Amino acid sequence: MITKEQALRYHAEPRPGKLTVRSSKACETQEELSLAYTPGVAEPCLEIEKDPAAVYQYTNKGNLVAVISNGTAVLGLGNIGAAAGKPVMEGKGVLFKRFADVDVYDIELDTRDPDEVIRIVKAMEPTFGGINLEDIKAPECFYIEETLKREMPIPVFHDDQHGTAIISGAALLNACEVQGKKLRDCRIVISGAGAAAISCALHYEQLGARHENILLCDRKGVIHCERREPMDEKKRYFAANTKARDLADALEGADIFIGLSVGGIVSTEMIRRMADKPVLFPMANPLPEIAYEQIRASRPDAVAGTGRSDYPNQVNNVLGFPFIFRGALDVRAACINEAMKIAATHALAALAKENCIPEVEKAYGGTHFEFGPDYLIPKPFDPRVFIEESLAVAEAAVRSGVAGNPLKSAVYRRHLEERLQMMRKSS
């Protein structure tokens, strides 16, 4: 168990923070100084002025992502502000670099005005190859992302929404297969109606779930058609024609439970009333909606996963965003579209069915992993995720017509394999 003292020491020593900037070119001689700055730097400037696309050839734009937050919905900490959220954004940068060799500048914005966030981010477009929005509260996050996606020519991705959807979607597809169910026939109950919950529901529809089979529950209960209080557009889309009014009602006979809310709100009695062979993903952190041990004791026929690393089937966003951006950046995608998200989900689901490699089992203390109830998605330290997910995303970008640099699959696979070897040598 990580202690407070360990966490604070890790972030403070030997130098504060988790990120640094390192030069990728030598600057040890007078000639190298002249190349790095004046007068040599004028030449790439003039080339980019003539051809704006040359910025990808002469600068780091093509491998640089901005992780941007205003700190209004940080992890499980809530609205703690931009500065207090900075350790999380630096952490995101560490994961981008460690898992996919993507460089990051973390940018914390001291504003809660969504239009100001949009204006600032748009003005930074010349610097970055992609934008990762992080920890911005709903419903503002929807408006910010949708506007930026529409008005910026580079990928914009709100990981709190789509990351959880993509990874849980992979686990869900495989859980249904293990349980002998078809997603389109399953009744799905989602506890939570924030950014992640709504994005998950929309993504599951793209994967085959039927709209009429999905119930969302917020703090007031089931989101249904007869509610009188105002609802935003996203919630209104999921307002169901149902007699169920609370989470217990909703879970009666349900096949799937997705938890993206708060810990401890689901009882063993509630899950006993679910359908045979249920799938339960209580993902609230650090305390799930129902404890993994309670699921195992009361529903031995269930397949379960959480957001925690100390139980099987952890739904961890690090399985998504580094590799999604890797593929998107490498083909210079103009956006991260639905086809690319679906491709990422299917790549993860397929990889879990491959034989686990010794390198992964060694990283987890010699534990053997085999596709089944306790191994529905790959582990983050599986190097094959870097290859297969990045490739799947890039291929989907090319197929859907949003790639500015449409690489052939065989060529790009070799490029990824070479990059992976370089990453391993430098680690």
Residue 121 CA to residue 244 CA, distance in Å, equals 42
55-63 contacts, C-beta under 8 A, 24 or more apart: 55/126, 56/129, 56/332, 60/24, 60/103, 61/126, 61/127, 61/128, 61/129, 62/129, 62/329, 62/330, 62/332, 63/101, 63/102, 63/103, 63/129, 63/329
Residue 313 CA to residue 307 CA, distance in Å, equals 8
Residue 227 CA to residue 340 CA, distance in Å, equals 35
**Spacing of C-alpha 158 from chain mean position:** 8
Of 61, 92, 181, 235, catalytic: 92
The pLDDT of residue 76: 77
The pLDDT of residue 245: 96
Instruction: State the 10-residue block means of pLDDT for the chain, 427 residues long.
Output: 92 95 94 96 97 97 98 91 97 97 98 98 98 94 96 96 96 98 98 94 98 96 91 91 96 98 96 98 94 97 94 95 98 98 98 95 92 96 97 98 97 97 86
Decide: 194 and 232 in contact? Cβ < 8 Å: no
Decide: 122 and 148 in contact? Cβ < 8 Å: yes
- The end-to-end CA distance of the chain, in Å, is 26
* Residues 6+ away with beta carbon under 8 Å from 210: 184
The pLDDT of residue 410: 97
> Is residue 124 helix, strand or coil?
coil
The pLDDT of residue 138: 87
* CB burial of residue 320 (10 Å; 0-12, 13-18, 19+): buried
DSSP 112: -
In the residue annotation, 92 being an active-site residue is answered as yes
| CATH number belonging to domain 162-304 | 3.40.50.720
The pLDDT of residue 216: 97
> Is residue 325 helix, strand or coil?
helix
The pLDDT of residue 347: 98
**Spacing of C-alpha 325 from chain mean position:** 10
| Residue at token pair 């972030």 | 11
Say which CATH topology domain 4-24+60-154 has.
Rossmann fold (3.40.50)
Tell me the torsion sign for CA atoms 105, 420, 339, 407. Answer: positive
The pLDDT of residue 285: 86
Residue 268 CA to residue 280 CA, distance in Å, equals 12
The pLDDT of residue 233: 87
Decide: 145 and 134 in contact? Cβ < 8 Å: no
Domain ranges (residues) in the chain: 4-24+60-154, 162-304, 317-426
What does each C-alpha distance from 230 to 141, 143, 193, 197, 396 come to in angstroms? 19, 18, 14, 19, 38
In the residue annotation, 37 being an active-site residue is answered as yes
pTM of the model: 0.95
Strand order in the sheet with 156-158: 103-108, 64-69, 130-133, 156-158
Cβ atoms < 10 Å from Cβ of 398: 19
| Residue at token pair 């959880």 | 164
The pLDDT of residue 229: 84
**317-426 matches 4-24+60-154 in CATH topology:** yes
Residue 423 CA to residue 50 CA, distance in Å, equals 34
Pick the CATH number of 317-426 from 3.40.50.720, 2.40.30.10, 3.40.50.300, 3.40.50.150: 3.40.50.720
The pLDDT of residue 286: 84
Name the amino acid, one letter, at 118: I
Question: What region, left, alpha or beta, does residue 78 occupy, with left being phi > 0 and alpha being psi -120 to 50 degrees?
Answer: left
Of 4, 10, 25, 37, catalytic: 37
Residue 424 CA to residue 427 CA, distance in Å, equals 5
DSSP string, 247-275: HHHHHTT-SEEEE-S-TT---HHHHHTSP
Tell me the two tokens of residue 302: 């269930």
| Residue at token pair 């708060």 | 262
> Is residue 323 helix, strand or coil?
helix
